[in-house]
């Protein structure tokens, strides 16, 4: 179903007519001049806010299997957070498979993560990894409680 959506000009004309009927023509004339003069400025502000709000960053994540067995990286249970932020599902903004990657010993998998914020943000990652024997662990990057601004890094999966 389609809904009628008036143009910005139509909305402005209706708004001005409503203001005219409430306050009278003499009161509204200065208001119209201010409104017309500020329209380009409002447009530029909206443009600036919309471009900075979506300023993201592409981060290349490489996972190298240094384990003796085949391992699987479970992207659905892998997460990222910025410093002082909350953990967020990593798989939603990942290129390639968004479920899991199974890797033979020595194999390398590379994925690009489209981060929400700029490249200068401090980030921490955690990846769920498991083996064929159903043994699993969480691999973090960087180690412990550190954060990184790297836009390309390799996580080495070790036994």
pLDDT in tens, 78-112: 999 999 999 999 998 998 877 899 999 999 999 99
Element (H, E) at 127: strand 123-131
What beta strand segments (E) does 70-122 contain?
A: 71-82, 88-89, 100-103, 108-115
CATH of 57-157, one of 1.10.238, 2.60.40, 3.30.160, 1.10.287: 2.60.40
Buried b (16+ CB within 10 A) or exposed e, 146-159: ebeeeeeeebebee
Q: Please say if the pLDDT value at position 120 is more than 70.
A: yes
Domain boundaries, the chain: 8-53, 57-157
Banded model confidence at residue 145, pLDDT cuts 50, 70, 90: confident
Q: Which residue has the higher pLDDT, 135 or 12?
A: 135
Confidence of residue 51 (pLDDT cuts 50, 70, 90): very low
Q: What is the mean pLDDT of residues 60-66?
A: 96
67 three-class SS: coil
Q: In what order do the strands lie in the sheet with 152-157?
A: 108-115, 57-65, 152-157
**12: which 2 tokens?**
């402005």
With both helix axes pointing from N to C terminus, report the angle between 8-23 and 25-53 in degrees, rounded to the nearest 10.
Answer: 150
């Amino acid at each position: 179903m389609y809904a009628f959506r008036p143009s910005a000009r139509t909305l402005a004309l209706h708004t001005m007519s409503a203001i005219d009927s409430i306050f009278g023509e003499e009161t509204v004339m200065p208001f119209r001049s201010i409104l017309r003069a500020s329209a380009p400025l409002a447009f530029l502000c909206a443009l600036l806010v919309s471009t900075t709000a979506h300023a993201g960053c592409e981060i290349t994540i490489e996972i190298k299997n240094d384990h003796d067995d085949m391992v699987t990286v479970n992207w659905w249970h892998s997460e990222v957070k910025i410093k002082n932020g909350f953990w967020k599902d990593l798989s939603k903004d990942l290129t390639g498979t968004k479920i899991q990657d199974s890797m033979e010993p020595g194999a390398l998998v590379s994925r690009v993560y489209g981060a929400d914020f700029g490249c200068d943000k401090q980030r921490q990652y955690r990846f769920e990894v498991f083996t064929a024997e159903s043994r699993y662990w969480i691999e973090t990057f960087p180690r412990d409680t550190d954060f990184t601004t790297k836009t390309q890094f390799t996580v080495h999966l070790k036994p």
